[in-house]
């Protein structure tokens, strides 16, 4: 029955003179999300409102789900739109609307009329009162409650008249494309896709880098990361995923450095490479899924040691999260099932039995001197041979 | 160059099979249950296939039931026989090295209230006969033992087992999982005392998704798939005519120059085993020679994770299979390798190489050469 939808957005409404930019970005993201849905949709911006109009048959469930993946939307109101043909006609349509949407009439309500057009012959208060009493006359079981109504009935008088009541939740945040770009270090685990989701939710365009180490990691592990990138892309929009072959660097570190420091040194090089890729691609920050104390390489000492190689900001949105909190988000955004697939890589080979948990930066730097002969060349080769895949659309 | 040494996982479909399958899909595509002439033509194809298969294993045609493959054959045999003979007793005997399509079916039967005994094996994967004699009771209704083990190629003494169990209970039903053995050994169920024999098509150059179950006409089995009453109501569902035709052609090919083909496989195996024995820090699992299957070799490698070695070989176009995946997931350790009593560090250092009549000596040489090059490199990292 719904042919049109009112898109409610939150934070971007208050952005002053930049507002049009945020709205345009949101319109673009909505169009992108709806391009994957069966049906024909038009997104329009009209005096501080965004509407989606449908034409012909479409899949309602699929459409709502697509809109609920768009950052920046706080609510989606399915609307019935009627032409302005006098108040009696409006009241009839209004009663018919309530009858269709709420078959069971045992509830309290309040009418909220708004006039976008001030030349309408009645003012908002009058419309509220008159529609309310006509509705009560039609369905005597209904009750008015102006303080805590069960159902809010909205009547918006603009060029046409919009009737809506139910507002479906959106996922909030800001439209992707309004806050620059950042490079996500994506592994096959639970955390990094969630971290990417959270930063993208603030309007940031994502690129991602995955460190592949064949034969220690399998093709399936790589496919899993591609799948995760696609899942994050269903919210964040298309993601350029850079797949960097890390094997030779890993082996070289393994050969030259003390084993308890392997993970830290490896991570330092991952950050360095990620930063280079970020610079090359116009990203202004890195994103990791780190959370303090989760594993040896994420103690505050380790984070300090890893962070030291970075000159650009590193965003760690999960830093204060418990594992379960992260899992909850992963479940919500649909990456969990993929993350726990057991292609866990044999990277564990490169993990010392007792890795340092309080690395000393001086010692780490000293160990890294052993790499001076070949490491620059290996890093360059890794960058030169990277494979880039566009995930999502 | 490539070397496909994973023929126990699945095989390439032979050219003649492809041709026959295509013809069955495009020319004789009728439903064999249909009353009209198109149906009759398809039915005749199935009849010919059944005749051939029955002749190859010397059983009656009506004793062949087509299925969707090895897993279904095993499920149908075990669940069907257990349920149909519940009144006769509650005990079922199997081994610790069965394929998951048997061992997980046994788990299901256990949930249904049956008492399951899984027999231990010796270090070569042979069922311990003493343990079988001890376990075998008069109320044992079903015994299931594989002919050839899929991971190490051990050949079980099927005929002897049938004598041992029948000495205790002449009515016991004997099921044999012949999925790795069919086409490699000439199996005659009636001579060996086998009541139920499971066979899969894609292990011998037929397409995936087809297999059969031989069922002795006197054995009671309940269906596990219900529908339009095809195949005496024991296995409903429209017959997979193209698959069945392909299975028959593939079986026919396997039985042409049977001994010559078996000999070729043994020679490939000998070549491979000799090469492996030259490599330091390797251990063969199961018998290295003609006491075990001609197409399967299981090797453990000191100080190398099987998954890493598998991917390193794959980078060179060499395809093998790992019994167990990386040990960070304990659940993926192979029960078969465990049952052999393999040292703990070998459990996730074992690869299976398996051959087919399409395997060449060049492929074997190429794989051996690659192993000799890869192993020292990998051991540098994994040894510590």
CATH number of the structural domain spanning residue A247: 3.40.50.620
Going by C-beta distance under 8 Å and a sequence separation of 6 or more, which residues neighbour residue B313? Answer: A215, B319, B320, B367, B370, B371, B374
Per-residue pLDDT of chain A (393 residues; tens, 9 = 90+): 788 999 998 766 566 777 888 899 999 999 999 999 999 999 999 877 899 999 999 999 999 999 999 999 999 999 999 998 999 999 999 999 999 999 999 999 999 999 988 888 999 999 999 999 999 999 999 999 999 999 999 999 988 899 999 999 999 999 999 999 999 999 989 999 999 999 999 999 999 999 999 998 888 889 999 999 999 999 999 999 999 999 999 999 999 999 999 999 999 999 999 999 999 999 999 999 999 988 888 899 999 999 999 999 999 999 999 999 999 999 999 999 999 887 655 556 677 778 888 999 999 999 999 999 999 999 999 999 999 999 998
- Say whether both B199 and B240 belong to one domain: yes
- Say whether both A157 and A195 belong to one domain: no
Find out whether B101 and B203 touch, Cβ atoms under 8 Å. Answer: no
**Closest alpha carbon to B59 in B247, B250, B219:** B219
DSSP code of A121? S
Q: Which of A 217-276 lie inside 8 A of B, CB atoms? A: 217-219, 251, 254-255, 259
Smallest Cβ–Cβ distance between B305 and the set A251, A255, A349 belongs to A349
CA–CA dist B146, B144 (Å, integer): 7
Q: Do A345 and B326 make contact, defined as CB atoms within 8 angstroms?
A: yes
**Closest alpha carbon to A194 in A204, A183, A186:** A186
CA dihedral over A189, A191, A197, A199, signed as positive or negative = negative
- Say whether both B91 and B24 belong to one domain: yes
Q: Does any CB of chain A come closer than 8 Å to the CB of residue B111?
A: no
CATH number of the structural domain spanning residue B242: 3.40.640.10
Q: What is the mean pLDDT of chain A?
A: 92
- Say whether both B374 and B243 belong to one domain: no
CA dihedral over A282, A287, A288, A289, signed as positive or negative = negative
- Say whether both A159 and A209 belong to one domain: no
Find out whether B359 and B4 touch, Cβ atoms under 8 Å. Answer: yes
Residue B318: its chain A contacts at CB < 8 A?
none
CA–CA dist A233, A239 (Å, integer): 6
Q: Does any CB of chain A come closer than 8 Å to the CB of residue B305?
A: yes
| In a domain? residue A75 | yes
- Say whether both B54 and B194 belong to one domain: yes
Residue in the block written with tokens 């018998």: B287
Residue B307: its chain A contacts at CB < 8 A?
218, 346
Q: Does any CB of chain A come closer than 8 Å to the CB of residue B373?
A: no
**How big is chain B, counted in residues?**
384
Question: Domain tally for chain B?
Answer: 2
- In which domain, by residue range, is B246 found? 15-255
Q: Do B311 and A342 make contact, defined as CB atoms within 8 angstroms?
A: no
| In a domain? residue B154 | yes
| In a domain? residue A197 | yes
- Say whether both A155 and A209 belong to one domain: no
- Say whether both A194 and A227 belong to one domain: yes
**Closest alpha carbon to B367 in B279, B249, B235, B284:** B279
| In a domain? residue A175 | no
| In a domain? residue A377 | yes
Going by C-beta distance under 8 Å and a sequence separation of 6 or more, which residues neighbour residue B248? Answer: B48, B49, B50, B52, B53
Q: Do A342 and B308 make contact, defined as CB atoms within 8 angstroms?
A: no
- Say whether both B93 and B225 belong to one domain: yes
- Say whether both B235 and B298 belong to one domain: no
Residue in the block written with tokens 């030779």: A248
pTM of the full structure: 0.87
Find out whether B275 and B290 touch, Cβ atoms under 8 Å. Answer: no
DSSP code of A204? P
| In a domain? residue A221 | yes
10 Å CB burial of residue A139 (0-12, 13-18, 19+) is: middle
Element (H, E) at A248: helix A247-256
| In a domain? residue B81 | yes
B14 CA to chain A: closest CA distance, Å? 28
Q: List residues of B with catalytic annotation.
A: 326
- Say whether both B37 and B88 belong to one domain: yes
Residue that terminates a domain, selected from B238, B255, B272 = B255
Going by C-beta distance under 8 Å and a sequence separation of 6 or more, which residues neighbour residue B203? Answer: B7, B8, B10, B11, B70, B179, B180, B182, B183
| In a domain? residue B330 | yes
- Say whether both A82 and A197 belong to one domain: no
Tokens of A234: 């269903």
Per-residue model confidence as pLDDT tens digits over B319-359: 999 875 544 445 578 899 999 999 888 888 999 999 999 99
Per-residue model confidence as pLDDT tens digits over A90-139: 999 999 999 999 999 999 999 999 998 888 899 999 999 999 999 999 99
Residue A342: its chain B contacts at CB < 8 A?
325, 329, 332
- B384 falls in which pLDDT band (50, 70, 90)? very low
- In which domain, by residue range, is A285 found? 181-391
Q: Does any CB of chain A come closer than 8 Å to the CB of residue B333?
A: no
Going by C-beta distance under 8 Å and a sequence separation of 6 or more, which residues neighbour residue B358? Answer: B4, B11, B12, B205
pLDDT > 70 in chain A, percent? 97
Residue B380: its chain A contacts at CB < 8 A?
255
| In a domain? residue B9 | no
How far separated are the first and last CA of chain B, in Å rounded?
A: 32
Element (H, E) at A169: strand A168-169
Residue that terminates a domain, selected from B211, B238, B255 = B255
């Amino acid at each position: 029955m719904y042919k049109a939808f009112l898109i409610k957005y939150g934070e971007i409404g208050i952005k002053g003179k930049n507002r049009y930019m945020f709205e345009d970005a949101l319109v673009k993201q909505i169009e992108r999300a709806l391009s994957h849905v069966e049906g024909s949709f038009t997104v329009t911006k009209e005096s501080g409102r965004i509407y989606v109009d449908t034409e012909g048959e479409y899949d309602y469930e699929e459409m709502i789900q697509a809109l609920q993946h768009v950052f920046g939307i706080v609510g989606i109101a399915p609307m019935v739109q009627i032409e302005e043909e006098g108040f009696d006609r409006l009241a009839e349509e209004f009663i018919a609307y309530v009858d269709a949407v709420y078959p069971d009439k045992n509830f309290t309500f309040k009418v909220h009329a708004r006039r976008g057009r001030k030349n309408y012959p009645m003012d908002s208060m009058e419309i509220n009162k008159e529609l309310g009493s006509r509705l009560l006359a039609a369905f005597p079981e209904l009750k008015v409650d102006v303080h805590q109504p069960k159902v809010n009935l909205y009547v918006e008088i603009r060029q046409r008249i919009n009737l809506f009541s139910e507002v479906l939740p959106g996922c909030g945040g800001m439209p992707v494309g309004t806050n620059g770009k950042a490079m996500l270090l994506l592994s096959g685990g639970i955390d990094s896709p969630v971290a990417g989701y959270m930063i993208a939710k603030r309007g940031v365009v994502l690129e991602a880098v995955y460190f592949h180490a064949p034969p220690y990691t399998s093709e399936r592990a790589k496919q899993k990361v591609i799948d995760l990138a696609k899942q994050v892309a269903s919210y964040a929009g298309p993601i350029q995923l850079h797949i960097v072959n890390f094997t030779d660097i890993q082996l070289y570190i393994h050969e030259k450095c003390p084993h308890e420091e392997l993970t830290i040194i490896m991570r330092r090089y991952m950050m360095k490479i990620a930063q280079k890729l970020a610079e090359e691609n116009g990203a202004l920050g890195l994103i990791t899924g780190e959370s303090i104390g989760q594993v040896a390489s994420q103690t505050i000492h380790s984070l300090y040691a890893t962070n030291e190689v970075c000159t650009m900001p590193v965003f760690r949105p999960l830093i204060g999260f418990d594992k379960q909190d992260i899992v909850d988000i992963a479940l919500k955004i649909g990456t969990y099932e993929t993350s726990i697939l057991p292609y866990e890589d044999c990277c564990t080979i490169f993990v010392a039995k007792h890795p340092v948990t309080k690395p000393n930066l001086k010692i780490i730097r000293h160990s890294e001197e052993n790499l001076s002969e070949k490491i620059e060349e290996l890093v360059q080769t890794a960058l030169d041979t990277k494979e880039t895949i566009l995930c999502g659309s | 160059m490539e070397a496909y040494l994973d023929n126990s996982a699945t095989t390439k479909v032979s050219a003649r099979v492809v041709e026959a399958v295509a013809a069955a899909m495009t020319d004789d595509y009728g439903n064999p249950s249909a009353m009209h002439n198109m149906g009759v033509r398809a039915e005749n194809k199935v009849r010919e296939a059944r005749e051939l298969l029955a002749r190859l294993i010397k059983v009656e045609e009506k004793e062949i039931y087509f299925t969707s493959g090895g897993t279904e054959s095993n499920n149908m045999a075990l669940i069907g026989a257990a349920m149909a003979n519940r009144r006769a007793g509650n005990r079922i005997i199997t081994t610790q090295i069965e394929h998951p399509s048997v061992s997980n079916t046994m788990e299901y039967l256990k949930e249904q209230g049956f008492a399951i005994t899984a027999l231990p094996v010796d270090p070569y994967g042979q069922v311990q006969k003493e343990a079988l004699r001890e376990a075998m009771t008069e109320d044992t209704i079903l015994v299931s033992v594989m002919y050839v083990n899929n991971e190490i190629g051990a050949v079980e003494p099927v005929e002897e087992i049938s004598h041992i169990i029948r000495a205790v209970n002449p009515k016991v039903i004997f099921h044999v999982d012949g999925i790795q053995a069919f086409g490699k050994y000439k199996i005659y169920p009636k001579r060996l005392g086998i009541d139920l024999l499971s066979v899969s098509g894609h292990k011998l150059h037929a397409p995936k998704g087809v297999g059969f179950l031989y069922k002795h006409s006197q054995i009671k089995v309940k269906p596990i798939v219900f529908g339009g009453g095809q195949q005496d109501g024991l296995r409903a569902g429209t017959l997979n005519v193209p698959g069945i035709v392909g299975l028959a052609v593939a079986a026919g090919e396997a039985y042409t120059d049977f001994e010559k083909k078996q000999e070729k496989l043994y020679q490939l195996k000998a070549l491979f085993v000799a090469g492996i024995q030259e490599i330091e820090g390797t251990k063969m699992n199961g018998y290295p020679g003609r006491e075990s299957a001609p197409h399967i070799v299981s090797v453990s490698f000191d100080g190398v994770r099987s998954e890493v070695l598998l991917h390193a070989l794959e980078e060179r176009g060499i395809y093998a299979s790992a019994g167990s995946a990386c040990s960070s997931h304990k659940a993926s350790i192979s029960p078969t390798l465990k049952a052999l009593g393999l040292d703990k560090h070998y459990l996730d250092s074992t690869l299976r190489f398996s051959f087919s009549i399409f395997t060449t000596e060049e492929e074997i040489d190429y794989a051996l050469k690659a192993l000799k090059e890869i192993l020292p490199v990998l051991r540098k990292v994994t040894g510590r």
